[in-house]
């Protein structure tokens, strides 16, 4: 019986520890560029989707929030963090893509004078996926959200869009289908900081929900940009450029090459799911949560290659 008591104590201690709210911290990684680094975790009922890197860029006239967080409460925490760092008002909320860990904080920022900005495909993607995301948030994240958590963009970026924050310009680029079909990057000219969001995964295994070939092409284009530091969607800010892109690129190339070879030999999706890329497991966090799905998505794309 003493055993049982111990089990119970450990269980409640673990619950109490996990229930404690981690403080919401932002670091100024370059003058006026603030980042909250998310935990490298799978979205669940404990973290409630608070896993992505989110933050803001401060100009003389305006603040641009870059991704709003994984739920409305995290959006509120981010809003409070902005207010703690500057008196400058938020004018823009930039949604880098449709995934819930990046946009479910939007509701906290809805107000007159704040414009939501997204890729030209974001509204469509939000329309097609919103319903599904609300359901999975209820089931997997214990978040009960309604359609007002889905905020469609007021400003749509066709190709590139320059936002003037006052004494500081940020350049938004709508990329081709890559991580998703609605990836938007943010480049701060003043500090040569590139906010890539989920176009770059650091240590966290990349997740493919757009186009493998498009993502590889995008990485090659990005590598030519003048960049002093890069903010990934998941993982630590990096200063080696374009070296920071390399592990992700190698992972995507491995997917491409192994799956292509398998398709040429007449291999099936089932074989690909069992075999492709297993050697990469030790190099990536959350490999078992996402890798097979990446293989599945990549296979479905590559089997249509000419």
Partner 1 sequence: MRIPACPRIFGILLAFGLFLPSSILHAAEADEAIWLNTLKPQYFGDKPIEESTAVIELTAPYRAEDPALAPIQIAAKIPQTPTRYIKTVTLLIDSNPVPFAGAFHFTPESGKADLAMRIRVNAYSWIRAIAETSDGKLSMHKVYVKASGGCSAPIGGDLDAIMKRLGKMKFRFEGQPAAGQPTQAQLLISHPNITGMQMDQISRLVQPAHFIKQVKITFNGKPVLRAETDISISADPNFRFWFVPQGPGELKAEIMDNKDMAFTASEKVAF
The Cα–Cα gap between 211 and 194 comes to 21
Q: Which of 91, 108, 122, 126 binds partner 1 (CB under 8 A)?
A: 126
Least spacing, CB of residue 77 vs partner 1, in Å: 24
Q: Around 31, how many Cα atoms within 13 Å sit in the side-chain half-sphere? A: 8
Candidate segments 1-9, 31-39, 86-94, 225-233, binder of partner 1 by CB under 8 A = 1-9
CA 65 centroid distance within chain: 14
Can you list the positions of beta strands (E) in 90-164? 90-94, 115-119, 155-157, 160-164
Residue 122 or 194 having the CB closest to partner 1:
122
Which string of x and - marks every residue 26-65 that binds partner 1 (by CB under 8 A)?
----------------------------------------
Q: CB burial class (10 A; 0-12, 13-18, 19+) of residue 226?
A: exposed
Least spacing, CB of residue 101 vs partner 1, in Å: 16
Q: Which of 25, 61, 89, 139 binds partner 1 (CB under 8 A)?
A: 139
Q: Which of 53, 74, 95, 180 binds partner 1 (CB under 8 A)?
A: 180
User: Residue 131 interacts with partner 1 (CB under 8 A)?
Assistant: yes
Q: Which of residues 260-279 bind partner 1 (CB under 8 A)?
A: 266, 268-270, 273
Q: Are 90 and 61 in contact (CB under 8 A)?
A: no
Task: Pick the closest to residue 119 from 150, 148, 160 (CA basis).
Answer: 160
User: Residue 8 interacts with partner 1 (CB under 8 A)?
Assistant: yes
Look at the block and give the residue holding tokens 């749509």: 156
Q: Are 275 and 193 in contact (CB under 8 A)?
A: no
- The strand order across the sheet containing 90-94 reads 27-30, 33-36, 54-58, 63-66, 90-94, 115-119, 155-157
Residue 9 or 83 having the CB closest to partner 1:
9
Least spacing, CB of residue 269 vs partner 1, in Å: 5
- Residue 268 DSSP one-character state: -
Q: Which of 18, 27, 135, 160 binds partner 1 (CB under 8 A)?
A: 135
3-state secondary structure of 57: strand
Residues that bind partner 1 (CB under 8 A): 1, 3-4, 7-8, 11, 15, 124-132, 134-136, 139, 147, 150, 152, 177, 180-181, 208-211, 214, 266, 268-270, 273, 292-293, 296-297, 300-301, 303-304
């Amino acid at each position: 019986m003493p055993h049982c008591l111990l089990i119970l104590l450990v269980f409640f201690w673990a619950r109490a520890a996990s229930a404690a709210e981690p403080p919401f911290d932002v670091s100024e990684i370059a003058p006026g560029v603030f980042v909250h680094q998310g935990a490298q975790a799978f979205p669940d009922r404990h973290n409630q989707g608070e896993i992505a890197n989110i933050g803001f860029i401060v100009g003389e006239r305006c603040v641009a929030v870059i991704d709003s967080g994984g739920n409305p409460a995290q959006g509120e925490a981010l809003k409070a963090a902005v207010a703690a760092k500057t008196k400058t008002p938020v004018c823009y909320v930039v949604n880098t893509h449709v995934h819930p860990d990046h946009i479910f904080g939007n509701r906290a920022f809805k107000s007159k004078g704040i414009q939501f900005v997204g890729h030209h495909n974001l509204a469509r993607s939000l329309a097609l996926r919103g319903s599904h995301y609300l359901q999975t948030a209820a089931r997997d994240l214990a978040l009960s959200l309604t359609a007002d958590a889905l905020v469609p963009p007021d400003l749509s970026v066709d190709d590139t869009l320059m936002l003037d924050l006052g004494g500081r310009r940020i350049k938004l680029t709508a990329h081709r289908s890559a991580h998703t079909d609605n990836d938007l990057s943010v480049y701060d000219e003043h500090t040569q900081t590139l906010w890539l969001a989920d176009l770059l995964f650091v240590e966290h295994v990349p997740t493919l929900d757009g186009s493998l070939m498009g993502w590889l092409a995008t990485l090659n284009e990005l590598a030519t940009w003048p960049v002093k530091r890069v903010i990934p969607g998941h993982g630590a800010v990096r200063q080696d450029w374009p070296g920071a892109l390399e592990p992700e690129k190698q992972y995507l190339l491995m997917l491409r090459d192994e799956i292509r070879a398998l398709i040429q030999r007449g291999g099936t999706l089932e074989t690909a799911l069992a075999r492709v890329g297993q050697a990469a497991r030790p190099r990536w966090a959350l490999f078992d949560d996402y890798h097979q799905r990446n293989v599945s998505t990549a296979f479905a794309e590559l089997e249509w290659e000419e």
